[in-house]
Structure 1
Amino acid sequence: MTTNFAVGPNTTELWEHVRPLVEEIEALPFLTQLADGSLDPVAFANYINQDSIYLSGYAKAMSFLAGKTTDRDESRFWSTSAAEAITVEEDMHAQLLSDARLGQALTDLEANDRLGASPTTLGYVSFLVATSATRSYGEGVAGVLPCFWVYAHMGKVLIERAGAMSEDHPYRTWVQTYDSPEFDESTRKAVTILERELERAPEDELTRMRAAFERACVYELHFWASAHAMQTWDAAVFAV
């Protein structure tokens, strides 16, 4: 499935460059199982918990961008997006706790001391905050964009795969809200900002911006996969 949020030649080229990564995300068992309703509730609860941790850091990264830009509209956009990320976090937890199956799964995670950030979540958040805080505005924008773009794209993929979901589909509400016209609009606004920054960037910065965008796409892939694999800090996985 192709979802084209690109608004110009630069973002079109960038999206085509990372398409193999996007296709890897599309092929993850997590998304197939989420769409057909067979996903283990504990794996979903783990994903939601990790996403909640991630969104707090993501909001901080966008707050740095809001303070860096000299464009009032862009500053307002990043500030609003940061606030909405916190709201989404709160709503996700409320939804999780309101469903008996998912609430029990969250309880199981807590009982096993599994509510902290995974290595991948911490790495992704650290990358975004550091890039937004210490690198150029353009690099920061490129770093935060995959969360908008990949998530908006995957929302369309999930809706297409899930089809007409029954009332008892365990993830029906979540899948439906994932494909949001409001989020699509925010994604297009963010991509428009990136297109402008790519157009005006000198060649050396352009290279760094492309690298930041690609690195964040790799983190998107690892984020989905690591949440499904219930990644922990257990060093035993490295044992020979």
Structure 2
Amino acid sequence: MVHHICQRHLLSQKGIDMLHHTLWQANHDLAHACLELPFVQGLATGRLEAVAFTCYVAQDAFFLNAFLRAYALAAAKCERLDHVATFRDLMSGVLEELELHRGYAQSLGIDLSTVEPLPAARAYTDFLLRVAWSAGVDEIVAAMTPCMRLYAWLGVELAPQLRDDHPYGDWIRTYADPEFEGLARTLEGLLDDTAADTPAVREAYRYAMVCERNFFAAPMAAV
């Protein structure tokens, strides 16, 4: 019994000491800033205007296409086949998200082929693809992890607001789902495997979090 308790403590402590946890804690201010944005609070309560959600869906579909390409570029730079396989699994997760967005687009009357990115979406995707083309796997993963961790965290934070008639219940359930949490942890595992705690890695993670905040703020400002 004592042996098992000690093992659990050691595993917990190991998680706390890992890079993904260090970077997430260092950027929790921006995570909370995202949570407090009117757009995210509107998602939580269900009072978000449909026009703002429509704008978000279009912008997020544009973003996810770039996110998918960044995964592919990271996989191409991997030396370990197990890392390539992990990126393949993560890409499958993005493709599932895109299917969700296509469903939203159909119901909301959005033509995803004609989406014009807002400045926040353009800045975010330009950053991701620039890093994906020019940097190593460590910085690429550092730039991509915030999106996955933040969405998983927001899903759990918003889940208590769910009700049967919640207009954005599908969105909240998607990101509160343990399956999505598993994808976030998988990417964090890659971060721990491939990256060291360097200024470049910290800067990539931090800037991605800034981009997330700007991205969530953009739909309300645009409508």
TM-score by length of 2: 0.86
Shift in Å, 1:8: 4.4
Distance across 2 between alignment mates of 1:145 and 1:184: 12
Deviations 1:108-141 (A, max 9, x none): x99xx8x311111111011111101111111111
> Cα deviations across residues 181-235 of structure 1 (Å, max 9, x unaligned)?
111111111111112233xx3x7xx11011100000000100000122227xxxx
Q: How does 1:86-101 map to 2 (within 5 A)?
A: 86-98=95-107
| Equivalent in the alignment of 2:215 | 223
For 1:46, the aligned partner's letter is C
Q: Does 1:7 align with 2:15?
A: yes
Cα distance in structure 2, aligned partners of 1:172 and 1:38: 12
CA distance in 2, matches of 1:182, 1:87: 12
- CA 226–57 in structure 1, closer or farther in 2 if over 3 Å, else same: same
Rounded to whole Å, the distance in 2 between the matches of 1:226 and 1:120 is: 7
Encode CA deviations 1:46-78: one digit per residue, 9 max, x unaligned: 001100000000000010111111121211121
List aligned pairs for 1:111-190, cutoff 5 A.
Answer: 115-160=115-160, 162-163=161-162, 165-167=163-165, 169-190=166-187
Does the 8 Å contact 1:52/1:89 carry over to 2? yes
**Per-residue CA shift, 1:18-55, capped at 9, x if unaligned?**
01111101111111111111101010010011000000
Identical-residue share of aligned pairs (%): 28
Paired residues of 1:35 and 1:158 also in contact (CA < 8 A): yes
> Aligned pair 1:69/2:78, yes or no?
yes
Q: Distance in 1 between matches of 2:170 and 2:105?
A: 11
Asked if structure 2 preserves the Cα contact closer than 8 Å seen for 1:145 and 1:191, the reply is yes
CA distance in 2, matches of 1:138, 1:177: 27
Contact 1:7 1:191 in 2 (8 A): no
RMSD of the alignment, in Å?
2.3
**Moved >6 Å (runs of 4+):** none
Contact 2:75 2:83 in 1 (8 A): yes
Residue of structure 1 in register with 2:8 after alignment: none
Output the CA distance in 2 between the equivalents of 1:48 and 1:32: 16
- Is residue 174–residue 180 contact of structure 2 (8 Å, CA) maintained in 1? no
Larger helix share, 1 or 2 = 2
CA distance in 1, matches of 2:172, 2:16: 29
Alignment match, 1:213 = 205
Where does structure 2 lack aligned partners over 5 or more consecutive residues? 1-11
Q: Provide the rounded CA distance (Å) in 1 between the counterparts of 2:119 and 2:71.
A: 21
* Gapped regions of structure 1 (runs ≥ 5): 232-240
SS of the residue aligned with 1:7?
helix
**SS across alignment from 1:38:** coil
- Cα deviation, residue 16, structure 1: 1.4
Q: Tell me if the contact between 2:63 and 2:121 (Cα under 8 Å) persists in the aligned partners.
A: yes
Which residue identity does 1:172 align to in structure 2?
G
Task: Supply the AA of the counterpart residue of 2:179.
Answer: E
Cα shift at 1:82: 2.2
In 2, Cα distance between equivalents of 1:20 and 1:177 = 24
Give the number of equivalent residue pairs.
Answer: 210
CA distance in 2, matches of 1:49, 1:210: 29
SS of equivalent residue, structure 1 residue 229:
helix
